[in-house]
Structure 1
Amino acid sequence: MPPYTIAYFPSRGRCEVMRMLLADQGQSWKEEVVTLEAWGQGTLKVSCIFGQLPKFQDGDLTLYQSNAILRHLGLSFGLYGKDQREAALVDMVNDGVEDLIRHLGQQLLCNYEEGKAQYLKELPGHLKPFETLLAQNNGGQSFIVGDQSSFADYRLLDLLLNHEVLIPCLKDFRLLSAYMARLSSRPKLKAFLASPEHVNCPISALLKI
């Protein structure tokens, strides 16, 4: 049995970045799919520490909160920068992605079409910091932090891939576009991104997109 188990809704959502990371690191995991109907019954929700999914199990360690899970995986696989300085930058990038994901969710959940139009107007300003960070690191030819991958790379890649589905937006961001293509071509990650488990999985269970 694989040591990892992901319990989540039938969507990419907060868990696809974990799946991408594990796949790229050559790991397997078990999925426990929680339907919205089952979640609505309340029994599982009560059993979750913060009343939220995902629930992630690494052997006898059970974790909630997606960013805590990512930091755990980052430490487990050496994906948290090579020193304290890089670790701080990895956290900074991850927090920046978190801000944008929350903003996207707020815009689209209120009124999808109207929210999408407003979000698209604001998006260049939201993406510019990531393009700037790339440019400052080896001219944008490397990772988002340092010279080795970190969990922040998977987080940013997941964000960019979802945007390409929802709101294609990278034509004016040369470095981000090349970065997305470069990371997506890593053999194990490429295989996962081409798999039915990824392709046929909606980005959001609530929005069904």
Structure 2
Amino acid sequence: TLHPFIFYFGRCGAMRIMMADQGQEWKEILMDFADWTKGDLKASCVSGEWIIILLKCYFYFHLTQTHTDAYGKDGKEAARIDMMCDGVEDLRLKYGKMIYQEYDTGKDQYIKDLPNHLDKFEAVMAKNKTGFLVGDKPSFADYSLFEVLLNHLVLCSSCLDTSPSLKSFVEKMSARPKIKAFLGSDAYKKLPINGNGKQ
């Protein structure tokens, strides 16, 4: 069994959920900002996107070999998964900017505008009719979206009330036995949602 390492720098929530769902084990290396800036790992990263690259490589080289099809069944699906993952990252960046820079002054407006940020995911999910963004199995884009939506539900518990397909998606993902067990574990519950304590 492959035991991947997680170098933690803010974007590993989706990877934890993904690996729990796939029955994989992992070892975490927790890295704070000071270690990141003084270490050699940062210099080896491409545009700071090392975690996303690791996520894709892990899916492509390992999970696809075990027939999970988490990076799509063909090149067309893989391209769509990449596109959706980029869209999730855009949402994550908007959320992060609000949490870390505009929480006190911008939270209410962010929540008000949130349906506009979610509508493209809602449309894709509704059109696909499988309960996932691409194909009929969860891809790494689904895990990434799921984790971001969990954070948003902490921010505003009613934020998906106008997005029925996304609400159903979160319920479906949360009910997957291994994800349900992980989300109920102490290992998950003790993790902070954001590094500054805002949520």
With structure 2 as the length reference, what TM-score do the two structures score? 0.86
Partner of 2:189: 199
Equivalent in 153, 172, 175 of residue 164 of structure 1: 153
- Mark the runs of 5 or more structure 2 residues left unpaired by the alignment: 65-69
CA–CA distance in structure 2, aligned partners of residues 32 and 70 of structure 1: 15
Partner of 1:22: 19
Residue 148 in structure 1 maps to residue 137 in structure 2? yes
- Mark the runs of 5 or more structure 1 residues left unpaired by the alignment: 56-63
Matched to 1:77, the amino acid is: L
Matched to 2:8, the amino acid is: Y
Partner of 1:61: none
SS of the residue aligned with 2:28? strand
Partner of 2:8: 8
Partner of 2:95: 104
Which deviates more, 186-195 or 71-80?
71-80
Residues 88 and 109 of structure 1: CA distance in aligned 2, closer, same or farther (over 3 Å): same
| Sequence identity percentage | 42
Residues 154 and 195 of structure 1: CA distance in aligned 2, closer, same or farther (over 3 Å): same
Residue 90 in structure 1 maps to residue 81 in structure 2? yes
Equivalent in 56, 59, 62 of residue 74 of structure 1: 59
Equivalent in 119, 122, 128 of residue 137 of structure 1: 128
Cα offset for 1:16? 0.9
Alignment length (residue pairs): 190
Higher helix share: 2
Cα offset for 1:2? 6.3
Partner of 1:47: 40
Partner of 1:185: 175
Q: Per-residue displacement from partner, 1:8-45 (whole Å, max 9, x unpaired)?
A: 25xxx3001111111111011112223x4xx42x5763
SS of the residue aligned with 2:7? strand
SS of the residue aligned with 1:49? helix
Higher strand share: 1
Structure 1 consecutive aligned stretches of length 4 or more whose deviation exceeds 4 Å? none
With structure 1 as the length reference, what TM-score do the two structures score? 0.83
SS of the residue aligned with 1:31? strand
